[in-house]
Amino acid sequence: MEGMGRATLLIVDDALESIAILNQILGAEYRVLFAEDGLSGLELARRKQPDLILLDISMPGMDGLELCHRLKGDPTTHSIPVIFVTAKDQEQDQERGLRCGAADYITKPVSPTLVKARVATQLRLRRSEEAQRRAQKLAAVGQLTGGIAHEFNNILGIMLGNLEFLEPLVAHEQSALRRVRSTTRAALRMSRLVEQLRDFSRLRPIHSQVIDLNAVITEMYDLLLGSVGDEVELVLQLAPALWPMKADRGELEESLWQLVNNACEAMPKGGRIQIETANRVVETFDPTIKSGEYLRLAISDSGCGMEREVLERLFEPFFSTKKPFGSGCGLGMSRIYGFVQRCGGTIRVYSEPKMGSCLQLYLPRADGSLESPQ
């Protein structure tokens, strides 16, 4: 997964004109926060969790070196990259700056193009580290859930087999029959839950075929339209000559259903959902996706959007912000994650609180032709 909306930069500098210069260079592309002294910079960094900090060295009170030291020693700000932007241009200044944990060092007066390039590089590195960390976490959780689902499935098989055997034997005894049947219903419910957990892990059996994604969406349109209600506008924007993809069709339909459902639930007062397809050639340094040809299925909504904490945990099984928390709740996105992984693709999420979200599924182009399902 890759995130999110515009990156946030924090500039800490006691000279307002320096802040103004950096803001002029970076303000169009990024959300910029600033602080005029070390202490308020530290407080702002803790509270706002910016994606990158641009830090002056010579400041009255807490100077840039000390602030960098504190930022690196605090677990809540430790991983935020720091770039020194300073008039101190001696070699030993640079060395001290880099030794206290800064990712880069830029001397004033700054070159706008180089500042942009160096900021972009640090942000890209951080994004890819975060993507990798999230992927590793989800892989570990996936292995655990897969293992549990597999064992539970075997045990449930035995229980359901025995219940089936018992039912005719107690047919004459009403209260016993009721109990056997209610136990069977509970075991079947649990089977369903175990199946959903398995969708997140790698253990799910795959029945993949070559698929025309546009056709699947068009066929589901009426069903989706019926589910979103009158207050929600559902718009399709399907690319002509879309490449074929390969997937388990049931899983693809289920994913689309869940995505539209989530979008809809994010807009209790109504709004607009757009389903869009496109051919995309991806060239990337992102370790969670290979360069190559992909179909991009994007679902955008004008709903409540997601806070950073939600984005961070979006794909964890049983993570949900919805109440009441019932059976199967919080498994939608984790199952979609499993599906996209099995396809060899990735998910990108762009979301702004109160503005809306856009979830993009990148699914690899298949070699086969659409006429020959295998």
Binding site for Mg ion (CB under 5 A): 262, 332
Binding partner of residue 340 among Mg ion, ligand ADP, none, CB cut-off 5 to 8 Å per kind:
none
Among the listed ranges 91-99, 129-137, 158-166, 262-270, the one in contact with ligand ADP (CB under 6 A) is 262-270
Segment 289-308, which members bind ligand ADP (CB under 6 A)?
301, 303-306
Binding partner of residue 252 among Mg ion, ligand ADP, none, CB cut-off 5 to 8 Å per kind:
none
Among 39, 130, 321, 352, binds ligand ADP (CB under 6 A): 321
Please report whether residue 266 would count as binding ligand ADP according to CB under 6 A.
Answer: yes
Minimum CB–partner distance for residue 271 and ligand ADP (Å): 10
Segment 140-169, which members bind ligand ADP (CB under 6 A)?
none
Site string for ligand ADP, 207-246 (x = CB under 6 A): ----------------------------------------
Minimum CB–partner distance for residue 2 and ligand ADP (Å): 16
Please report whether residue 314 would count as binding ligand ADP according to CB under 6 A.
Answer: yes
Among the listed ranges 34-42, 126-134, 218-226, 260-268, the one in contact with ligand ADP (CB under 6 A) is 260-268
Rounded to the nearest angstrom, the gap between the alpha carbon of residue 139 and the centroid of all alpha carbons in its chain is 14
Please report whether residue 263 would count as binding ligand ADP according to CB under 6 A.
Answer: yes
Closer residue to ligand ADP, CB minimum distance, 274 or 284: 274
Among 5, 332, 338, 345, binds ligand ADP (CB under 6 A): 332
Please report whether residue 330 would count as binding ligand ADP according to CB under 6 A.
Answer: yes
Closer residue to Mg ion, CB minimum distance, 262 or 346: 262
* Spatial CB neighbours of 211, under 8 Å, sequence gap ≥ 6: 244, 245, 246, 247, 249, 252, 366, 370
Binding partner of residue 81 among Mg ion, ligand ADP, none, CB cut-off 5 to 8 Å per kind:
none
Assigned token pair, 231: 């207050």
List residues binding ligand ADP (CB under 6 A): 258, 262-263, 266, 301, 303-306, 310, 314, 319-322, 329-334, 357
